[in-house]
A and B are shown apart, each in its own frame.
Chain A
Amino acid sequence: MFNLRTGLYALLFTVVVLSGCNRKDPEPENEKESINRMEVVFTPVTGGASVTFLFSDPDGDGGNPPTITVQPLRARTAYNVTLTLAKEEGSKREDKTAEIRTEADEHQFFFIINPATLMTHRYDDADRNNRPLGLRNVMETQAAGRGSLRIVLRHDLNKAFAGLNNTNFMQAGGETDIDVTFPVTVQ
């Protein structure tokens, strides 16, 4: 019986000691995958000063609302439009564009212009299967006016979907990684 008693106390002691010494602090996770900044740079094809649209949400989903800044575009002008993605944390900025380019065959950007008469869009890059990606594009503004530009990045979609375009892309499956709408002024 003495052994049983010693055993029980030993068990109790072990459990208490174990529970105490295991309490290590967790390690912070580096969220390498998340994108919280998108820059859209409009450079006139004929040269001249570029215009930048910016979406930035440094504290991620929730928290403070994101900032969206835009500048007016000139009417009847063709622009080279390039997209840059990054993860911003404090003063650090990690580029994420290359990650999308590496997996170009699993990704595609779509550009929804409203009203459609505001400007035109065509892709200026492609993946290894010669299907568009959308990090580089050409957009040509029409008459002056106001509207919006919605940029959607789809991941794991069926890029072989027949007639895939800026209006029917939802039917190609996959899911949305980015969905940002910028107000656009053409003057």
Chain B
Amino acid sequence: MRLLFSLLLTRILVLHVQAQHAPCNGRIAGRVVNAYTRQPVAGALVQRMKDGGKALTTDADGKFALNGCERFAQIIISKEGFKDAIYTLPTGEEKMLPLIPETLELTTLTVKDEKIGIGKATATLATISDEALVRTQGKGLAESLGSMSGVQVLRNGATIAKPVIQGLHSNRILILNNGIRQEGQQWGLDHAPEIDPFMASQLTVVKGAAAVQYGAEAMGGVVLVNPPKLPVQAGIGSEWHLQGASNGRQGIASGQVSGYHGGIGWRAQLTRKRSGNIHTPDYFLANTGVSETNFSLAAGYQKERYGAEVFFSRFNTDLGIFRGAHIGNLTDLQFAMSSPRPVVSADFGYRIDNPRQAVTHNLLKINGYLKRSQGEWQWQYGFQHNRRQEFDIRRGGRDNIPALDLNLFTHTLDAVYEAGKGTALHRKFGFNGLLQSNLNTPGTGIRPLVPNYWVTAAGAFAIWKYSATRWDAEAGIRYDLRHMEVRRFNRNNVLQRTERLFNNVSATVGAAYYINEKLTLRSQLASAWRPPAPNELYSEGLHHGAAALEFGSDSLQSEQSWKWTNSLNLKTDKISLEIAGFAQYIGNYIYLAPQAETQLTIRGAFPVFHFEQTNAQLAGADFTWRWQPSAAWETLLKGTMVRARDLTNSAFLPWIPPDQASATLRRNFTLPSKSRWKGAYAALSCLLTAQQRRTETERDFAPPPKGYTLLNFDGGTRYEHGRQTLHIGFSVHNLANLAYRDYMNRFRYFADEQGRNLQLYLKCNL
């Protein structure tokens, strides 16, 4: 690490000396096109960011040209009916610059190559932003992501949700919160990601292994949560959200103010969310309230060639866990499953009682960049503190003492050097360092579920991207070293110290082939790895919610995976189609293996599970098909399918999402062009979920629930007055108020899913 730093510093010194002024004869040119149709956009305003000088307009072919002496110029392109776009362009070559139309926002967009940096050019991506994001933000991060094809949701009742990317979740996917690896207690199936979706302006899912760039755990996919860019133009802007939902009588208020003064861009954001007991079509779910308060602050100094940014965010939630799912033993579980409605009845209320979780996540990020003609240096430091307190129903007035109280401190340091941007051979080299400590707060009166541990990890990677006229090729390699020290008490209260060392090489190779202007084919093969999680190593005893005795094993090895992803994109004037397929092999796949015997405790007999390793195989496909026959009508079809097998034991893997498909019909209303009301629409969608038949019946407490069909409605419009806009939206989830259960909800043994939910949302830009 020391050597790498010296090298890094030497480079900075050398570059500094070499900085000289070059003669001024550059030309900055580009061609502006519609991101969907690839048709040229004429009459778009093109303005240089630096001086805010004279604006040019594009010609009939979408082309423009500026004179400039810098090597890179930042420009802003604006055109009515399209979103503003900011591009950094190298001089001397003409780039294709896509603009995203404002009307086509039904759900997910596929990011085109121009917007994708190195390391993702050949991967399968999906993003959600703007109107589609506003519609789902109030439901939490996982539900926002779940609206993309290939992403599903694993729930723990109404209050906890986790994203599942192509069949994998928890520690097998990675979430990057504003560029920093989210380090919470992800191993828990009932631990939701600690991120406020209102902080983000865009969510991207990389549906492939991206371990070379991001390190361990990025096996199934990577979620990128990106806040808006800091302003670079003088003035103050703000964005306000107000949302209300009938089910749970939820209210959300979120505001964001940003500005730019004296070279410094800044932003402050605050979200407050409160909801009470959720209602299924027939009854209330006791203790399913949520109270959330989040904020973030950012400030940055950005110049074309150098800049730095400071970001701080805090996420704070207090959530109730459905009382009817709290069980003491197997008999309780069987009784709960046999009763058609939960034994614990409830009325509406906002009160949050035990069992509950109180989680706080703080993130501090400091990053900077330095651009040179030879290349660009980027570095970032992140500090995270995750505190998780879980309160259980206890005896002897111990209700206010947490049953689990974990503090996870993580420092990360990333340094990247990128060269050859915009040339045929684009290179990226990087270093990642991580220091982590997991500390149990003493005094819970309960043996810690996971022990105190310290992790020191370092990794280095290199990625090359070669671009030709019709295709891009990418290759990357990475080496990781991870040291873990554990201090824990064994059953006889004797202190034990264990050290483990993991190391791993990951690699990726891929290509994107642009068959013609409308058709693109991408294929990528990537390896990834994951060290065993602390619960897999050290669980030892009763898992209350699961009514099972679970035992870890500290001899578990790292999981090794190869994932092959392929996608085909078609974009024409009226049709956009994306088909993605994947196949994945995971060696040393860690899973809970049921044991033949049951074990007797004072609470009765429990089934026994051991964390063991096997080899697993996953394969699947997803597609998104959008057809817009006219300006008034749009249709959207989506589907997702995953198949998973335990190869060693020839069995099915548990918690794999069932097949899903959805169809949406949307009507866009044309209002008089002089009207300040714009973009009115109404959409009806139908979501079909099949029954998961690929399960091992004897390993589950109950058979998988039947398939179901949900009807949802949403509609909206916006009012524009100068630069100010007001978005108004209304949606109904589960229009038919259907009582159903979902295989991917761990509380499906106990209660139905939530009933009809009317939601009203307002978003105002000032």
Contacts and interface: CB of A to CB of B under 8 A. Distances in A.
A170 B439 CA distance: 38
Nearest to B323: A173
Contacts, number: 141
B447 A29 contact: yes
A59 B491 contact: yes
A32 B445 CA distance: 6
Contacts of A99: 395-396
A155 interface: yes
Interface string A48-82: 00000001010111110110000000000000000
Interface string B601-629: 11110100000000000000000000000
B74 interface: no
B600 to A, nearest CB: 6
Given A9-B5, A23-B454, A55-B602, A28 B493 contact: yes
B13 interface: yes
Contacts of A63: 491
B170 to A, nearest CB: 24
A171 B340 CA distance: 12
Interface stretch (A129-137, A140-148, A175-183): A175-183
A102 B452 CA distance: 35
Contacts of A170: 331-332, 335, 343
Interface string B416-447: 00000000000000000001010110111111
Given A62-B541, A173-B344, A1 B13 contact: yes
Residue among B335, B394, B398, B602 having the largest count of chain A Cβ atoms under 10 Å:
B602
Nearest to A55: B602
A29 B16 CA distance: 56
Contacts of B542: 61-62
B603 A179 contact: yes
A99 B491 CA distance: 25
A175 B326 contact: yes
A176 B603 contact: yes
A62 B549 contact: yes
Interface string B24-46: 00000000000000000000000
A15 B457 CA distance: 13
Given A26-B452, A171-B343, A178 B395 contact: no
B435 A27 contact: no
B20 interface: no
B449 to A, nearest CB: 11
B447 A177 contact: no
A177 B603 contact: yes
Contact of A176 (B332, B448, B540, B549): B332
A43 to B, nearest CB: 23
A28 B445 contact: no
Nearest to B601: A61
Nearest to A30: B445
A36 B602 contact: yes
B435 A175 contact: no
Interface in B297-328: 326-328
Residue among B9, B442, B495, B603 having the largest count of chain A Cβ atoms under 10 Å:
B603
Residue among A23, A38, A180 having the largest count of chain B Cβ atoms under 10 Å:
A23
Given A29-B448, A62-B549, A175-B326, A22 B437 contact: yes
A12 B12 CA distance: 18
Given A23-B485, A27-B442, A29-B448, A178 B603 contact: yes
B384 interface: no
A158 to B, nearest CB: 9
Contacts of B398: 33
B607 to A, nearest CB: 12
Nearest to B13: A1
Nearest to A26: B452
A179 B604 contact: yes
Interface in B182-215: none
B12 A1 contact: yes
Contact of B602 (A4, A8, A27, A38): A38
Contacts of B332: 170, 175-176
A155 B329 contact: no
Interface string B50-76: 000000000000000000000000000
Contact of A25 (B329, B446, B495): B495
Residue among B446, B551, B606 having the largest count of chain A Cβ atoms under 10 Å:
B446
B489 interface: yes
A31 B443 CA distance: 9
Contacts of B371: none
B549 to A, nearest CB: 5
Contacts of B411: 15
A26 B396 contact: no
A35 B549 contact: no
B329 A179 contact: yes
Contacts of B393: 155-156, 175
A62 B599 contact: yes
B451 interface: yes
Contacts of A176: 327-329, 331-332, 603-604
A128 interface: no
B762 to A, nearest CB: 40
Given A1-B12, A99-B396, A176-B331, A31 B602 contact: no
23 contacts: A4-B9, A15-B411, A26-B487, A27-B442, A33-B398, A33-B445, A57-B602, A60-B491, A60-B541, A61-B606, A63-B491, A99-B396, A100-B395, A155-B393, A155-B395, A170-B331, A170-B343, A171-B339, A173-B343, A175-B328, A176-B331, A177-B395, A177-B603
Given A176-B332, A177-B328, 9 more contacts: A1-B16, A8-B9, A18-B435, A23-B487, A28-B489, A32-B445, A61-B602, A103-B395, A170-B332
Smallest CB-CB A-B distances: 9 pairs: A176-B328, A175-B328, A179-B604, A27-B442, A61-B601, A170-B335, A26-B452, A173-B343, A176-B329
